[in-house]
Structure 1
Amino acid sequence: MKKLLCLAVFFSASLLQAEAQQQTPKKPLSHDVYDSWNSLEGDKISNNGQFVLYNIDPQEGDGDLYIRSMVNNAAAKYNRGTKARFTNDSQFAVFQIKPEHQKVRALKLKKKKGDDLPKDSLAIVKLVDMSVVKMPRVKSYKLPKEGSGWLAYHLEKPLAEKKEAKKDTAAVSEKKVETKKSTPKKNKDAKGTELVLRNLNTGQEHRFSRVVDYIFSEQGNMLYFVKDELDSLHHAGVFAFSTSELKEMPIDTGKVTYKGITTDKTGNQLAYVASADTVGADIRYFGLNYWNTKNRRNQLLADTAAKGLPQKWMVSEHGNLTFSEDGKRLFFGTFPRPVRYEKDTTQLDEDKVSLDIWTYKDPLIQPMQLKQNDQELKRSFLAMYDLKSGKMQQLATLEMPDVYLDAYKTGDVALAVSDEKYKITIGYDTPTRKDAYLIDLKKGTAKQVLKETRGNPRLSPMGKYVYWYEPMDSSWHALSARGGANINLTKKLAVPFYDVDFDMPMLPDDYGFAGWVEDDSYLLVYDQHDIWKLDPTGKKAAVNLTDSYGRQNNLRLRYEKLDPEEKFIPANADLYLSGFNIRTKADGYYKDYVSKEAKPEKLISSDHAYTSLSKAKDEQLVTFRRGDFRNYNDLYTSNLGFANVEKLTDANPQAAAYKWGTVELMDWKSTDGVPLQGLLYKPENFDPKKKYPMMVYFYERSSDRMHAHRTPAPSASTINIPLFVSNDYLVFVPDIVYKDGYPGESAMDCIIPGVQLLVQQGFVDDKNMALQGQSWGGYQIAYMVTRTNLFKAAMAGAPVSNMTSAYGGIRWGTGLSRQFQYERTQSRIGGTLWEKPLQFIENSPLFFADRVETPLLIMHNDNDGAVPWYQGIEYFMALRRLNKPVWMLVYNGEDHNLMQRKNRKDLSVRMSQFFDHYLKGAPAPVWMQQGVPSVIKGKNFGLELVSEPEVAGELQE
């Protein structure tokens, strides 16, 4: 009876609580909710499928790591856990623990930095009982890729050592001469710290001092590490530790620098580069070194005198060292010996000339050269050392700098692809032309097999074929690596393999490919809807692997790679596919087969977005993310049949307390009769009898993101849709299709009919509509306000306003000339300035600034690497002179989109203030009414709202 009474009381209390929650009115989203809104990151599933881990982190502050048992559904939480991994045997989870956010912030306010700030800790969780072992002051850790039972973790400098390093050593001088002579001189620049190798099963540890770099072999049978020089008695060197013998072995000592340690698949062979030259030397000469567990003898394989190395070339310290899968070959980097220039010690720095010399013969223009300087200084050219024959072969050259190997690096050919002859056309000729060469790894010869292809040739996994999509004929091609004709694999097929929706004045790209079937037997490629199986020899007819199921059902079927290490698709594999409905935007997963004839089987499909499908290595268990506009992309689990879907996380339960909204798919036609789609976001509890202010945001096409969840977050450049919808705005996101030569007019032709259709439905306040967009969207807005007064206000982020001046400019982020963008890509003019001068002018808002009546807010930052800052200045100055209502926000040192969170928060507030003022009649902020004079910059930000009588007052410091 007591139990029944307790249950009754419990259920009554639950009902009352639920009713109270239902009665509590939901709050609109505001700018102060951003920091606590969570993201789910780093989800992983153990190999045995019994555990899942994931992080739930706020946008600012301390997050949590969760480890959930899939057996009993219990979850353990670890504050500030990060960089978590399961061991391969699924017995342990290892992760780092970050310092508390507020403690770090408090210390930074006291001007502490570097070693004075708290460091990460390490945690090891034994999954069978969830017991935890922690270690302080850990900078990194590593686990074997395939093996289990061992963990290596690298410690920060001990606190005592830090304090000792800060002492003024000059003051410690009163020692006997004999003592000074007998004390080794310490290396002041030593960076090595203690490395710990731990047996996870026994807890036994082995410690190694002065370590700067370390790696495990794949199976964990060997640990290799580099020690820094401490003093004349403790030299730098490379060392090995056998986890079976529990024995440390010196490999090479006495040189100044050791880099690039790498092992073969077995862990029994080691390679690295080393130099005896001092760090400050003008040119440092490195040698390629080799060691193995069989004879345990260090061997110099290549240096400047190596046979097979081009004259005046040398081994690169920046090359990527790798062994072939069978361990018989070693690949490394070389480069031409740099020219040594004598330093002029007779001139002061202020007397030296500093200039860039531009010439019409430069393969790359000076800004691109300057941007790529560091990359060029570290550039290396692939070379091969045959460990069986002892011969070295240079593969990459100045003329053929990019060389690709098969997936196993065991084949007899390599593929070189070069655009060196065509680099001078970069900036206006796109896609760039390339030549391709097959390199015979036995004979050392190279043969050209492709000339001026616009595609990106690659080798098949086994190295039997060269394959590529050729934009010039919109077809997939292959040719035998043993010699043979270039075979067009898709020319005779009735479906297009180019992007049919591509609307730029250049060659369209392909839909991509799924991969190769084992033994290089077939290439699997995509059309708009389906997957095709292509015989690379061209002898067998192409097969629609998905039986046109995608096309018949308006689906876009794409292969889901469930094994991250997969190099090819097994011939008898079950194919798991994502299936997105192009028309309705529903999403889900399907199943098909490589060899078995059967139509794709629908496993799960719904009005959600599905992402991040991941499978347990040894079990038929998967995890995936699912969400929609209203619901965050939480983590779910299921078997491979998706018959028992279970939700694992609820990352943002607080969302239930806020007004959100809904999203609908809209259909209409452009002025030219082109069918279009777009998204309409409506406020929660939408009333069709009311009239709502409406924001119109756009870029190019966004309707496929109908079910994408949009998190409340400070803006890098565009409106946060949930925030505006939660505050009773409609938000319309239309798709746009373009006509060559008329990008601005195309935007008008697509957007205005969609807006008019919504206005006709009666719930849009047509007197209070606004535009907002960034970059390409910003340009279209800058154009539209010269052609229509339909909108009450507009914001254009980083807009191009004058195509004639922008055309000749530089994209400073890459150093590229901007010409390609106007002739062939996004700006879609389709010709040069001298070929189509009128269209450059017609599409430039600046030349029609006198027509603007719409109040305009511009954001254009002074370190914008994509659209030159002066584009915003040109438009602002024209509108200012015409006495048009215009403001420009310039975030100092910021790029095209805001990177710093403080600036994102600031922009979000100012955008809301701007649109609330014009569309809702809210008071204007001080920065709009009076501005913020430079003399009080950084002291008063002008965010206070003012009523009309206060407008005449002066802004005070």
Structure 2
Amino acid sequence: MIQNLLKLILLQMGLVLVSAKNQEDTINSWRAKFASLSNLVYQSKDANWIAIKKISKLSTDSIFVINAKNHGKTVHRIMNAQLLFLNEEGVLGQNEQKALFLNLTTGDTFHFNNVIKTYILEDLSRYALLFKDRRLKIYNSSGKMLLEITDVEDLPLSDSRNTLFFKNQKDGKNQVIAANGGQNKVVYSTENKIRKIQLISSGKQLIITEATTSKEQDRLIIFDTQSSGKKLLDLDIPKKSIVKLSEIQDGESFLIGARVESDESNDPLVEVWYGNDSYVNEHFMRFNEQKFWLWKPKSSKLQAIEVPKNNEVSSLNNDRYFMTYPPRKGHNFITSEPELNEAKVYDLKLNTLNDLGNLKLVKRIGKEWPLLLNHEIFCSADGKWFLASKDGVKWILYNCNGKIEYLIDKTGLEQPVFSKNGYYIYFESGDDLWIFNIKQKILTAAGIGKEKMTKITNYVSIRNKHTMASFLPTDCILVETLDRDQNVISYKLFDSGKWKQIIPPTENRLTNNSLIYNPDMTSFYTLEENYNLPPTLYSYDTRGQKLTLFDGNIRDNGAKRIRQEIYSYSAVGKNLNGILYYPTNFNSKKKYPMVVRIYDMQRHISNDYLSPNKMMPEGFQIRTLLERGYFVYLPDTTVGENGPGISALECVHNALDVVLKNPNIDQSKIGLCGQSYGGYKTNFIATHSNRFAAFISGAGISDNIRDFYSYNYAWNKPLYFIYNTVYQMNTTVSADMERYIKNNPILNVEKVNAPILLWAGKNDRIVPWDQTMEFYIGLRRYNKDVIALFYKNGNHSFMNETPEEIDASTKVLNWWDYFLKGKQDLPWIVKLMKKDAL
């Protein structure tokens, strides 16, 4: 009886494993009990309503729409859908071909089937649905159908305010129709084919591209969507042009670009790749012909921009000065994106060019992998200034005419943001927020985040090719500060000349896009989580007082029992951290095996909620391992002068030295694993370390020299740039052959001295699966204990609940159980260890 009772207790904990099949069923049924809130949060315009998805395996995923104004007292539950808020009145959702509209005032819900597309018309409090039978219907918020239109050809366009536009044919003519629920209006009619209709980003102008009978020209027509469809422009453009309008200073002017795509034909027999091709199989980005104009709607003035042939033109948010350059000049994929070589500022009034020379991408020094690069050119809201860099390290302030105004002599300044009035430039950095006074030419620290990473959260960015207008829409500044060492985040608001604490320092994780606020910045809401706290929606007032708004009724009592410790150590000249999680039912009198997972810097994920259903990292279920009696350790790894592999080895060994002072870790039962970049590091460490009892490597590089000379079909570019960013070699193979060889796992594959499980998806276009095959073949050649799993339909990462993810996750747990806990009844592993089994 005692034995049966013990089995029952263990079964409830997910620890009874009678057979491989029962084991899988037990894990899946245990995981199915856990729910969570998605980090994708929707909000209405004034943030009176917030919608969030609850993810659950036991019941259909649902969206909860919460009234933030009454502190969550009103909550509506609707089907899982992609949402559009109709002001504060309603919410429109679509999931595949099902749609619904929830009236937030009355609580009434209207359901629809066979829906292709949904639209909102904010100014009219209406919404529209395009059905599978090509009928377009417009409704008011009470569910009354106001208009039905049949035989709609293509997907309509919506300015989201008051009008839908769509193409139609009638009496042999091609038409563009405007509809809002009242009487339809024919905006444009022609006997020619209408190639395309599009709205500019603000929705204020409708662009129609018409194919004419001319062999040389098509036609561009622009209408004002805000004044009864008034025609604003009629322009001849090159045949089959792709047209783009870029707003200058909030629509006062427009840069019009008409580009004709490359007509290089695809030879069915052979692809020809030229050694001087700066596109390298990216011909979809090449244009045979380009024409540009400046257009001023108010004065109806149109002026051609005459720049050197084949040059690109980008907006500087100024109606006189423009950036021009030969696209991709000298680009050899050393950087992920092309730098601007031979850049010039074109003066439209004087028809002159001011030479800027070569401009460099600026590294975001405060970031680890990926070492993100800023755009080259950042422009002010008024178009008077722009920032660029000559060395990729320091910013230069230019006058709009291209003359150097001032070199800002400080490194580490990231993401420039101009103030609304154009008097200041704010810089994010890894050490405080920095403010540059343009008139006085003085740079000062704001003093709100010394030695902390800062991020401006409320700026506007409008990109046009290699330039970006970056500015604050108001006089307020909302800044995030992050203490990387402690993983503590907070938010401060600069308003009326003072800094106010909005979100006090918290160790909780604020997930992406989870800081919500109303336009006046008087109410704030956050979605927060921690390793022992399921995602929860909170509200804050301007005094920083915090209230729970919505928790989804998620009860994870087991999370409260999770124990975490942070260990500090040094490696490759840097201070690093490792996150240690204790087995859930830890007993200080016992020793436990430990699984180590590596990738890059990991301190920032110490506050990730440890849901058993978490998709990332792939094939590595932290919570499940803790429940099954493992320590789990996540040490930081980074790159020093010796290269990524050697540096990772030093980081991991030093991380082990500090954590193994814990007497409850069984030093003879430690496993190491990683996927992608972590897979490469695992491969390398497996060839150089004797401190692990087993390894698992997923989708990792085994031969970095072959990878350096590879072409990546996921990104359509050679991989040189990866070795200047991710792997931080910052040189070529020929220039530093010795360091590449020393960091190459395959060249030491014969030194692997513990069993290793390899896995990869055969549809992986990021890390080719044959890199895993190469490592497997090398291990076989030297009679090492290896099993490789090649998933026929697998990509680089496996989506949760796919057959690939379920199988890989199960086999990963099997592997650790066999080699770290001595479990023997796993036939697929026994076949490896019993040499004659096959």
Structure 2 partner of 1:890: 790
After the TM superposition, which residues 922-937 of structure 1 pair with which residues of structure 2 at under 5 Å, given as runs? 922-923=823-824, 925-930=826-831
Choose from 510, 523, 527 the match for 1:621.
523
The counterpart of 2:765, out of the listed 865, 877, 880, is: 865
User: Is the CA contact (8 Å cut-off) linking 2:380 and 2:470 kept in structure 1?
Assistant: no
Alignment partner for residue 689 of structure 1, among 585, 589, 599?
Answer: 589
TM-score (norm. length: structure 2): 0.85
CA distance in structure 1 between the partners assigned to 2:285 and 2:83 by the alignment: 32
Encode CA deviations 1:113-134: one digit per residue, 9 max, x unaligned.
xxxxxx31332x2222212233
Contact kept, 8 Å, 1:662 with 1:682, in 2: the verdict is yes
Query: Structure 2, unaligned stretches of length 5 or more?
Result: 1-8, 16-25, 363-375, 463-468
Q: How does 1:309-458 map to 2 (within 5 A)?
A: 313-314=238-239, 316=241, 318-321=242-245, 329-336=253-260, 354-365=269-280, 369=281, 372-376=282-286, 383-387=293-297, 388-394=299-305, 399-401=310-312, 403-406=314-317, 411-416=319-324, 418-423=326-331, 425-427=332-334, 432=339, 434-443=341-350, 445-455=352-362, 456-458=376-378
Q: How does 1:20-169 map to 2 (within 5 A)?
A: 26-27=13-14, 30-34=27-31, 37-58=35-56, 62-69=60-67, 70-71=69-70, 73-88=72-87, 90-96=88-94, 98=95, 119-123=97-101, 125-144=102-121, 147-157=123-133
Aligned counterpart, 1:502: none
Aligned length: 792
- More divergent stretch after superposition (381-390 vs 48-57): 381-390
Asked if the contact 2:13–2:627 (Cα under 8 Å) also holds between the matched residues in 1, the reply is no
2: CA distance, partners of 1:289 / 1:391 = 13
Classify 1:286/1:475 alpha carbon distance in 2 versus 1 (closer, same or farther; 3 Å). Answer: same
Structure 1 residues without counterparts, runs of 5 or longer: 1-21, 100-118, 158-192, 305-312, 344-351, 492-496, 499-509, 932-947
Residues 389-439 of structure 1 deviation map (CA, whole Å, 9 limit, x = unaligned)? 453424787643251342xxx63333335553212x224799845343223
Say whether the 8 Å CA contact 1:251–1:298 is kept in structure 2: no
For structure 1, which segment, 52-61 or 615-624, has the greater mean C-alpha deviation from structure 2 after superposition? 52-61
Shift of 1:687: 2.6
Corresponding letter in the other structure for 2:191: G
Task: Tell me which of 375, 383, 396 is aligned to 1:477.
Answer: 396
CA shift at 1:200, angstroms? Answer: 3.2
Alignment partners' CA distance in 1, 2:811 and 2:563: 25
Deviation (angstroms), 1:885? 0.4
Letter in 2 for 1:421: K
Partner of 2:368: none
Conservation of the 8 A alpha-carbon contact between 2:459 and 2:470 = no
Deviations 1:527-562 (A, max 9, x none): 32211111235x3422322x2x422xx533333328
More strand by share: 2
**Structure 1 residue 737 corresponds to structure 2 residue 638:** yes
Q: CA separation in 2, counterparts of 1:24 and 1:855?
A: 30
> In 1, are the aligned partners of 2:397 and 2:406 still within 8 Å (CA)?
yes
The 1:381/1:677 distance shift into structure 2, 3 A limit, reads farther
Question: Does 1:756 find its partner at 2:675?
Answer: no
Which residue in 1 is equivalent to 2:367? Answer: none
Per the normalisation by structure 1, the TM-score is 0.75
Q: Distance in 2 between matches of 1:810 and 1:600?
A: 50
1:323 Cα offset (Å): 5.8
Amino acid at match of 2:186: M
Change (3 A) 1:909 1:377: farther
**1:546-695 pair list within 5 angstroms:** 547=447, 549-551=448-450, 554-561=451-458, 568-569=471-472, 572-573=475-476, 575-593=477-495, 596=497, 601=501, 603-611=503-511, 612-617=514-519, 620-650=522-552, 652-653=554-555, 655-656=556-557, 661-670=562-571, 674-695=574-595
Distance 1:355 1:741, change over 3 A: farther
Q: Which has the higher helix share?
A: 1
For residue 521 of structure 1, report the CA deviation from its aligned partner.
1.3
**Alpha carbons of structure 1 residues 490 and 834: separation in structure 2 relative to 1, 3 Å:** closer
Distance across 2 between alignment mates of 1:216 and 1:860: 43
* Alpha-carbon contact 1:697-1:732 (below 8 Å) kept: yes
Q: Identify which of 744, 764, 769 aligns with 2:670.
A: 769
Conserved in 2, the CA contact under 8 Å of 1:833 and 1:840?
yes
SS of corresponding position for 1:210? coil
Q: Give the aligned residue type for 2:174.
A: A
1:226 aligns with 2:167: yes
Aligned equivalents of 1:850 and 1:519: distance in 2?
A: 64
Amino acid at match of 1:422: G
Of 325-334 and 867-876, deviating more is: 325-334
CA distance in 2, matches of 1:300, 1:560: 37
Q: Who is 2:807 aligned against? A: 906
Residue 208 of structure 1 aligns with which residue?
149
Give the Å deviation of 1:276.
5.5
Per the alignment, in what secondary structure is the counterpart of residue 690 of structure 1? coil
2:503·2:540 contact (CA, 8 Å) conserved in 1?
Answer: no
- Are the counterparts in 2 of residues 863 and 894 from structure 1 also a CA contact under 8 Å? yes
Rg: which structure is higher? 1
Q: Quick one: distance in 2 between partners of 1:224 and 1:131? A: 29
Taking structure 1 as reference, are residues 447 and 208 closer, same or farther at Cα in structure 2, changes over 3 Å only? farther
2:91 counterpart letter in structure 1: A
Give, in whole Å, the separation in 2 of the partners of 1:199 and 1:442: 50
Partner of 1:251: 188
User: What's the Cα RMSD here?
Assistant: 3.7
Maintained 8 Å contact 1:562/1:615: no
* Offset at residue 790 of structure 1 (A): 1.3
Displacement after TM superposition at 1:26 (Å) = 4.9
- One-letter amino acid matched to 2:355: Q
Q: Any conservation in 1 of the 2:35–2:57 contact (CA below 8 Å)?
A: yes
The alpha-carbon deviation at position 658 of structure 1 amounts to 7.1
Q: Could you say which residue in structure 2 is the equivalent of 1:15?
A: none
